[in-house]
Amino acid sequence: MSSTSAHDDEERPWFLAHHFDTVGQQVSAAKLGMWLFCCTEVLMFSGLFLAYFIIRTLYPEMVLGASEELNKTAGGVNTIVLLTSSFTMALGVRAAQTNNQKALERNLLITIACAFIFMIVKYFEYTAKIEHGLLPGNWYAAAEHGYMLPKYSRVFFGVYFTMTGLHGVHVLVGIGVLSWIFIRARRREFNSENYVAVENAGLYWHIVDLVWIFLFPLLYLVK
């Protein structure tokens, strides 16, 4: 930009980093980076989804039999919890866009609370699996616990724990990111001109939801 006069510098808002000319540039750069990160997330999880389809191709009956051991209702409740948190996250971004400070803080808090509920349900699911010896690889001990599952069921539980485990790590990271955004919101950093951080945290959270939308039917509801 040619107009780097003192007059323009005075008009720079406090949140505009020195290496950007306009707020628009700063926002589109941040969004570009976040969408690229979303792409890498999709590509990373796609490898695990492909692993799932490969074991499904190799052992069709085993996958159907072993997945019967998963708690459909717990998975369904967690799906609703994540969808609710995505909904409140979208409302949170909207609240920042419309300068609604109260709604922004409230929606961020509900989103974080839903993330915790998700992890608590996940904890009970994992505990049940561990108690019944439904574990991957060498830890697989279903027969010792009186479970007659198809041969190679340990491979299914390997995929189950890897996929839901990586997704769970994303939920935990999401709790951290959203807490950070909540603290910044409490400091009243966000308004209708400066909310790209809320929006990008929201994009991350929606990706977490997106992965679960595919994980849930494939792992829990296959038949």
Partner 1 sequence: MSLVYLNGKPVDHPHENHHHVSPVWQFTAVFAALVTLTILTYLVSYAGLGSASLPVAMAVAMVKASLVIAFFMHLFYEDRVYAFMFLSCFIFVAIFFTFVLFDMHTSAEMNEEAGIHYKRAVEDSAEQADTNRAFDAPAPAKAGH
Q: Which residues bind partner 1 (CB under 8 A)?
A: 1-3, 11, 21-25, 27-28, 31-32, 35-36, 38-39, 42-43, 46-47, 49-50, 53-54, 57-58, 72, 76, 79-80, 83-84, 86-87, 89-91, 93-94, 97-98, 151-152, 192-193, 199, 202-203, 206, 209-210, 213-214, 216-218, 220-223
Query: Is 44 or 130 the residue whose CB approaches partner 1 more closely?
Result: 44
Query: Is 91 or 175 the residue whose CB approaches partner 1 more closely?
Result: 91
Copy the structure tokens of residue 42.
């999709």
- CB of residue 73 vs partner 1: minimum separation in angstroms? 8
- CB of residue 85 vs partner 1: minimum separation in angstroms? 11
- CB of residue 5 vs partner 1: minimum separation in angstroms? 12
Copy the structure tokens of residue 95.
């609240």
Q: How far is CA 221 from the centre of its chain?
A: 20
Query: Is 87 or 116 the residue whose CB approaches partner 1 more closely?
Result: 87
- CB of residue 39 vs partner 1: minimum separation in angstroms? 4
| Whole-number Å distance between alpha carbons of 81 and 67 | 21
Which letter does DSSP use for residue 70 in this model? S
| Runs of H (alpha helix) within the chain | 6-10, 23-58, 60-67, 72-97, 101-131, 153-186, 196-215
Q: Residues 221, 194: contact at Cβ < 8 Å? A: no
